[in-house]
Structure 1
Amino acid sequence: MKYLLAGLGNIGNEYAHTRHNIGFDIIAAFVHKHGGEFRNDRLAYVAEVKIKGRTGICICPTTYMNLSGKALKFWLEKEKIPLERSLTVLDDLALPLSKMRIKPAGSDGGHNGLRSIQALLNTTAYPKLRFGIGDTFPKGMQAEFVLGKWKKEEEPLVKLKIEKAVAAMEIFIFQGIEAAMNEINSKEFTL
């Protein structure tokens, strides 16, 4: 059983550990926990991890956010993984920092990475893990907020949520999306 686990973000040091790159950080934490290592491959940094007889193909696209669909489509096809056994991990402005959501389908919600995936796969019906980043920014400052680093006081909660997201990914792999949804969708994450 193979799964494609895709974290959305932008390559380059200026984007490292920003709100918009939380997908990269969660995938990296998952790969690290399971003893994998990334290699630079076609359209993505790729790591293959084995977990109790299952295989996770973990990707962080190197296409930049707006072209994430190219990497996702390529790796789904290359590894012959059905769409329902993929999980796309991303930041979400519409959710507060205390929330995360897993759903089997859903719109792009204005997220450029999801818009690219949706356009290339021609569907909104693929599993997503949305990591709430909140929307605490002044009017007109959305891009700066999304591409900005976490505030010092947010970092401990972000770290906790990354751990919970990794655990939810494991539940997704072993018990399915319903169990993963039950695990995190109604939870309020606080310190």
Structure 2
Amino acid sequence: MPDGTWLVVGLGNPGPTYAFHRHNVGHMVIDELARRADSPLAVARLMRAAVCQTRVGAGGIGGVGADAARVVLVKPRTFMNESGGPVAKLLAYHRAKPDHLIVLHDELDLDPGQLRIKFGGGDNGHNGLRSIRKSVGTGDYHRVRIGIGRPPGRQEPADYVLSNFRASQRVDLEIEIGRAADAVELLVREGLAAAQNRFNG
């Protein structure tokens, strides 16, 4: 079990208008992890985020015991392009290092149903990732990339990510949110290689 506190951040935009947008899948996964942990998110106003603290051990999230790693679940309450501020503040507050940061985000370059886990890399035009790099000072953190696919026809990517999932996609979306939550638990519990071997295939 890795030492130190893990910060798990789901990217999205705040408020009910954006709640079911493709850009908000990171928020959706945090909600699922908080549900599993039976630990509701609470607003930390000074941090500009909704957070909860839990642990991940051999029995999963919400577990107890000496082997359970401390985990802070985070939904920034800023807009996507300002996500870095809350992330940097929370890393400092919890004395967590960037290599113990996991960011969940939507990915245009992956088809719906695809999931990829990696450490480091570029921002690929994603405003949330760009903001985190600017505020934290590095891109060397874990990413769980959740595929949403490319927009159909000539629809602009910016309009596509700020649109709701179709009703016909909701069942598959729930499955993918569950898989992404599973990936976070495995990443914390067993490390990057184990999570990639299971989910990157």
**Could you state the TM-score of these two structures normalised by the residue count of structure 2?**
0.89
RMSD after superposition:
1.1
Q: Matched residue of 1:36: which SS?
A: coil
Q: What is the alpha-carbon distance in structure 2 between the residues aligned to residue 80 and residue 37 of structure 1?
A: 22
Q: What is the alpha-carbon distance in structure 1 between the residues aligned to residue 155 and residue 38 of structure 2?
A: 42
Q: 1:50 aligns with which of 41, 46, 55?
A: 55
Displacement of 1:144 in angstroms is: 2.1
The 1:17–1:140 alpha-carbon spacing in structure 2 relative to 1, beyond 3 Å, is closer
Q: 1:137 aligns with which of 139, 152, 161?
A: 152
1:40 corresponds in structure 2 to 43
Contact 1:37 1:48 in 2 (8 A): no
The 1:159–1:73 alpha-carbon spacing in structure 2 relative to 1, beyond 3 Å, is same
Contact 1:99 1:131 in 2 (8 A): yes
Contact 1:9 1:22 in 2 (8 A): yes
Q: What is the alpha-carbon distance in structure 2 between the residues aligned to residue 142 and residue 161 of structure 1?
A: 21
Q: What is the alpha-carbon distance in structure 2 between the residues aligned to residue 140 and residue 150 of structure 1?
A: 15
2:190 corresponds in structure 1 to 175
Contact 2:56 2:188 in 1 (8 A): no
Number of aligned residue pairs: 186
Q: 1:104 aligns with which of 71, 96, 119?
A: 119
Range that drifts further, 175-184 or 134-143: 134-143
1:11 corresponds in structure 2 to 14
State the 4+ residue runs in structure 1 displaced beyond 6 angstroms: none
Q: Matched residue of 2:83: which SS?
A: helix
Letter in 2 for 1:104: F
Unaligned runs of 5+ in 2: 58-67
Q: How does 1:26-175 map to 2 (within 5 A)?
A: 26-41=29-44, 42-52=47-57, 53-175=68-190
